[in-house]
Amino acid sequence: MKTLRQIIEKCNINNVIDILLKKHDATAENKNQYDNVYRSVINNLLELKGDTEKSWPIHVQTRKDDFDNTEYISVGLINPTYVEPPENFKAWYGEEEDVVPQGHYNANLEKHTKYWAFGGSEWRLYIDANVIDESNCDDDLLVAEIIWEITFYGFDEKTNKKFFDSLTERLDKVLEEEKKKKSITKSNKTKKNKKCKKR
């Protein structure tokens, strides 16, 4: 098994850049700009000292789109603490405070999520991570797909982190609002029940 660093060092960087430019639909006006940006990303990755103790394996596979059934390459991280759900149990995505119904497993638990997106995590966690390739694509395409995923929300760690911090903040606010609404609804139900009992 090879690490991302080993595959990058072996592949043809010009081919990788060409694949990325096609994915970007780069035009004559912005081609050089994207070319320089991606070369910078690759150089920055190779300059990093990897953290293999905290890294998760990178998983690459071919999947089919749910809408039009076209094949695409999916890149993610494998959760090292993944636990296979009990056999024949159905996924349940209810609220934390609710009881999981019989014959179901709590799909909200991190241990039951096998693949994770790269998100805003540090690049040093990927560069020396093992790459498990089930797509059978060549090294140039493999690197291009991984770089595409890593840079999807920004061409550097700072931009990626800023995006995900902002996303997390917005999500926390939405969840807080939902909790308040549920709390008000439960409070109103309790009051109604008390009135019914008095009658």
Kindly indicate the confidence band of residue 195, based on its pLDDT and cuts at 50, 70 and 90. Answer: very low
Q: Mean of the pLDDT values across residues 132-147?
A: 96
Kindly indicate the confidence band of residue 168, based on its pLDDT and cuts at 50, 70 and 90. Answer: confident
Kindly indicate the confidence band of residue 152, based on its pLDDT and cuts at 50, 70 and 90. Answer: confident
Q: Mean of the pLDDT values across residues 73-98?
A: 91
What does the alpha-carbon distance between residue 5 and residue 143 come to, in Å, rounded to a whole number? 10
Retrieve residue 145's tokens: 């797909």
Neighbours of 135 (CB within 10 A): 19
> Which residues have CB under 8 Å from 188's CB, separation 6+?
none
- Is the pLDDT at 191 greater than 80? The verdict is no
Neighbours of 118 (CB within 10 A): 21
pLDDT digits (tens, 9 = 90+) for 4-57: 999 999 999 999 999 999 998 989 899 999 999 999 999 999 999 999 899 999
Among 15-29, 66-80, 166-180, name the one with the lowest average pLDDT: 166-180
- Residue spans per domain, the chain: 156-199
Neighbours of 16 (CB within 10 A): 24
Task: Give the per-residue pLDDT at 164.
Answer: 77
What does the alpha-carbon distance between residue 38 and residue 40 come to, in Å, rounded to a whole number? 5
**199 vs 94 pLDDT, higher one:** 94
**Rounded to 5°, angle at Cα 19 from 49 and 7:** 35
